Amino acid sequence: MATITTTSFSGDMLEIIAFRLHDQEFCVKTTTIREIRGWAPSTPIPHSPADVIGVMNLRGSVIPIIDLAYKLGMSSTIANERSAIVVAEVHNMVIGMLVDRVSDILTIGSNQVQPVPEVTASFDRAFCEGIIASENGMICFLNLAKMFKEQDGEDLAA
C-alpha cells in the first residue's frame, strides 16, 4: 500500500515566490532566493548538461543559468522579454533559473501546503515538496535542495 508523506514546514507562515513555467505555476521559499533579474542572454558552455543554458556575469561572479522547465521534464523555455532569471543559493552555490515570468510573492500558512498525491509507484516526488491550492489554481512547491544535489554543483562549476 502506498504511503503519503506529509510535508514538514517549521513555523506557521511561509513566504514564497511563485512563477510560471509554460502554463503551470510553481513556487519556492523566498529564503533561497537572492534576487530576480530580467532576462539577458547567457554565454553557452560546450558539453554542459542539457538543462544548463549557459553562464552569466552576476556582479563579477560567473553563475550557471538553468532551464528550469527542462530540469523538471518539460519542454525547454524559449526566453522572451517577459522571462526572468530567479537567482537562488542552493548548497552554497549561486544559480540562475530561467522562468517564463514571476507571478507573485506570497505569505501562506504552512498548513496550506498539501502532500503530493501518489501517482504511480515509479513517480518521483523528490522535487516537489507539496501542492498549494490557491484561488488561481494549483501551485507546485519545489524543493531546490533536492533538485540541485551537491554533486550537481560540482558539475555546474566544472
Please give the average pLDDT of every successive group of 10 residues along the chain, which has 158 residues. 42 90 94 94 94 94 95 92 95 96 92 82 72 88 89 51
**Predicted pLDDT at 4:** 36
Question: What does the pLDDT read at residue 135?
Answer: 81
pLDDT of residue 12: 85
Residue 148 pLDDT: 87
Q: What is the 3-state secondary structure (H, E, C) of 139-155?
A: EEEECHHHHCCHHHHHH
- In three-state secondary structure terms, 30 is helix
Look at residue 85 in the predicted model and tell me its pLDDT. 97
**Range list of H helices, the chain:** 68-71, 144-147, 150-157
User: CB of 11 within 8 A of CB of 25?
Assistant: no
Per-residue pLDDT, 5:
38
Strand partners of residue 15: 107
Identify the pLDDT of residue 6.
Answer: 40
**pLDDT for residue 126:** 75
What is the structure's pLDDT at 155? 53
pLDDT in the model for residue 118? 74
pLDDT score for 120: 56
Grid coordinates representing 18 are: 511563485
pLDDT computed for residue 2 by the predictor: 36
